[in-house]
Amino acid sequence: MTAVDVRRLAAGTLMPGFVGTSAPAWLLDAFDDGLAAVCLFGTNLVSWEQLGELCAQLRERAPQALLSVDEEGGDVTRLHYLAGSNQPGNAVLGRIDDAHATSSAAAAIGSELAAFGINLNLAPDADVNSADENPVIGVRSFGADPQHVARHTVAWVEGLQQAGVAACAKHFPGHGDTTSDSHLALPRVSASAQTLAGRELLPFRAAAAAGVASIMTSHIVVDALDPDNPATFSKIVLQDVLRGQLGFDGAVVTDALDMVGASGEIGIPAAAVRALAAGADLLCIGSETTAEEYQAVLDGVVAAVASGALPLARLWDAANRVARLAADFPARGGAYAGALSGAAIPDPAAIRSTFQFSRDAQGWLEDVSPAAVVQLETETNYAVGTVPWGPAATGRTVPVEGVVPGQKVAIAGRGLDAGHPAWVLADDLRSAGHNTIVVECGWPRGGADIVTYGASLAVSVALVDLLM
């Protein structure tokens, strides 16, 4: 095999992002040299028309390539990055607990993506959210019960893939029992092997059995499986457990290698080599990949093959699994405007039925006083980004200075831990004579009067209609 052949194989395992709203020349040239995939992020979007032009530009140059996004629905959205998702998200779907509703939500997402020519969706999140204070999973999970999560994961995968878009269950072997974010650190899971088998691994086993096209690794250390290596770099996790025990034969995709949990100490090129050697097939490089960074990763993989650090057979296997994934889910464009306007959205009444209410909330809703909704900005995680969220996304909030005498007030926030300013503001408003409740637009952490289990536009419209 020539050096050019090896370089093309290496390019066939990489999935960079890029900066800007049109494809840079280096990326288009990379397709000519074997690049098989590109990942789009919210920062690549300024309008659906522009996104349509961008996808058409990519497809013209690389008709067989994988175009991917993180479109989970709910809080994590790329297609609806400018306004918020028209789907409620996993936690709400899990609480509705209707597999058909979950499958329909995924199919609606799939139809939207397919209309743009996007054929790989880095979803669903199959994590069991077993730590309430988890800073990065939370409402992205279908719930805290493994069987429940497994059932809805399968429904989501089936709905998406029936729409012609490959699914990618994440974050293997399970990011739900962590209290740090792998974007910023290297989390560690200390659960026993027995607990892992019955909790974390269960949804992924179900997804593999249901024919999920791909599974994404996580940059976490799982002591009971491999205490020395993050899952993304662990042959034990990716080959012995995922391939061997779970019988998964699809493509293994890495979470973004620019995350601290992957490359914080060794750099992205070294992380890419380690991931391929461990058994990963498609490497997500990051959202702001430059031409220089892409070439450095490509050079690193080629050099690793030349030195023997990365067996050529492993690189060949990875590139072929990626090619098979693309062949199994060929792109098909369409009238994206029609797909967006015709998306099936769960009934707001069904969404509201999943909310949790305190006794004070019931009294507040029965109070006939005029209502004001105040939203407190809350720092979010990298996966969510800067998507409009909560009641503010509907345009029906007021600043606290705009609250007038006689109004009852709902304070909306998310991640409402004990130190959140929502609690002090609520006390101040009550002292000023306002009937006041606090709304948690995320996973419950205790104390809120209403919990919505999500902050997407779909959930927020249902919430505001209730409050107002």
Question: What residues are annotated to the active site?
Answer: 183, 255
Q: Which two tokens stand for residue 426?
A: 């609520």
3-state secondary structure of 108: helix
Q: Distance between CA atoms of 186 and 209, rounded to whole angstroms?
A: 29
Residues 248/208, Cβ–Cβ less than 8 Å: yes
> How does strand 436-440 pair with strand 408-413?
parallel
Q: Distance between CA atoms of 254 and 256, rounded to whole angstroms?
A: 6
Q: Distance between CA atoms of 413 and 381, rounded to whole angstroms?
A: 14
Helix axes 25-32, 48-61, angle to 10 degrees: 30
Residues 6+ apart with CB under 8 A from 429: 400, 403, 409, 411, 436
Q: Distance between CA atoms of 380 and 348, rounded to whole angstroms?
A: 25
Residues 87/74, Cβ–Cβ less than 8 Å: yes
Q: Distance between CA atoms of 327 and 322, rounded to whole angstroms?
A: 9
Q: Backbone dihedral region of 113: left (phi > 0), alpha (psi from -120 to 50 degrees) or beta?
A: alpha
Choose among 461, 443, 330, 448: nearest CA to 389: 461
Print burial letters for 204-234: b (CB count within 10 Å at least 16), e (below 16): bbbbbebebbbbbbbbbbbebbbeebbbbbb
Question: Across-strand partners of 318?
Answer: none
> How does strand 214-217 pair with strand 283-286?
unpaired
Choose among 41, 47, 91, 34: nearest CA to 71: 41
